[in-house]
Amino acid sequence: MKAQLLSAPADVSEQPLQLTDLPLPEPGPRQIRIRVTACGVCHTDLHEVEGDIDLPLLPLVPGHQVVGIVEQVGEEVTTFEIGDRAGTVWLYRTCGQCKFCRSGRENLCEKAEFTGYHAHGGYAEALVVDADFAYHLPMALSDAEVAPLLCGGVIGYRALKLSEVQPGETLGLYGFGNSAHITIQIARYWGCPVYVFTRSRGHQKHALARGAAWVGTADDPPPSKVDAAIIFAPAGELIPKALSVLRRGGTIALAGIYMTPIPEMPYALLYGERTLRSVANSTRQDVRELLALAAEIPIHTDVTTFPLEEANEVLLAMKESRFNGDAVLLP
């Protein structure tokens, strides 16, 4: 099968992914093999390719927002059949035994493994995953449209929950890329006015089209303080700016897996029982809830599709904010 393989991290402008032929993977007793029809491109993929986060496996096939058709099932699998439509997410496997797994917080499992990180991912024509960590997908959305929900969507949804924003309260979003354009649709469904802070004029226009009540940069004063905020952009310097417009008792959720250093800041910005918290991965329950919401609202994803061969160019375009919404690779 064809796959985009990362042998050593490098600046994406150097095209570190190489299109190569790999053996077709064989599923284990509790696994399924999915013939990939679409794979969303995520900022986590960019951080892996450029070496911002340490990689436990090299060479590596990135990609974790995978949609496809089940073409082989392990002998112990009962939840999928050949021909089923299936999706995978970042969470590849957990231990199932630790206190986090047993308390509904499997996203914090210290032995968790991740798709396209500990195991080859979806920048390929096929991949294998544990059936217990794969999902039946709503048929209302096409393969390309549903792929962004499987990471950007679910991380945005978890960040929204952890921000503790209540229906009708004002929410701030910092950055407006693939995750935020999904998150805003849920927030608007909950009746929340949304202020979007982003430098990109294109992203500002996109935010307005998706129902933002106000747009500006992180240096612009919004019409009022916000009750909660989510920071999607991996820029630590945004934290004190976001705290400066957060109401007392409010929460800021940091949605990224990676962020540049947080600058020193006065305690007064945090005082007033403001909360700053990270968002780590997601649970299978988060995915199920998000997929149900996607059908209920319904959520519309803005996608641009590319052939698998252009993975390096797509990551570079995403890094430079050259398109709105999500990029999806089509093997």
Query: pLDDT for 136-187, tens place per residue?
Result: 998 888 999 999 999 999 999 999 999 999 999 999 999 998 899 999 999 9
If residue 215 lies in a helix (H) or strand (E), which one and from where to where? Answer: strand 214-216
Classify burial at 140, counting beta carbons within 10 Å of its beta carbon; exposed 0-12, middle 13-18, buried 19 or more.
exposed
Residues 209 and 331: beta-carbon distance below 8 Å: no
Q: What pLDDT is stored for residue 151 in this prediction?
A: 93
Amino acid identity, position 152: G
Amino acid identity, position 102: R
Amino acid identity, position 253: A
Query: pLDDT for 272-324, tens place per residue?
Result: 999 999 999 999 999 999 999 999 999 999 999 999 999 999 999 999 988 88
Q: What pLDDT is stored for residue 324 in this prediction?
A: 83
Strands 275-278 and 246-254: parallel
> Where would I find the beta strands (DSSP E) of 75-210?
85-88, 91-93, 113-114, 126-130, 134-136, 171-174, 194-197
Average pLDDT of the segment spanning 119-127: 98
Parse the chain into domains and list their residue ranges. Answer: 2-150+281-330, 153-278
Query: pLDDT for 73-115, tens place per residue?
Result: 999 999 999 999 999 999 999 999 999 999 999 999 999 999 9
Identical fold, 2-150+281-330 and 153-278: no
Taking the CA atoms of residue 26, residue 32, residue 35 and residue 41 in that order, the dihedral angle to the nearest 10 degrees is: -110
Q: What distance in Å separates the CA atoms of residue 49 and residue 73, rounded to the nearest whole number? A: 31
Structural domain 2-150+281-330, CATH architecture: Alpha-Beta Complex (3.90)
Classify burial at 201, counting beta carbons within 10 Å of its beta carbon; exposed 0-12, middle 13-18, buried 19 or more.
exposed
pLDDT at residue 188 greater than cutoff 90 = yes
Tell the CATH topology of 153-278. Answer: Rossmann fold (3.40.50)
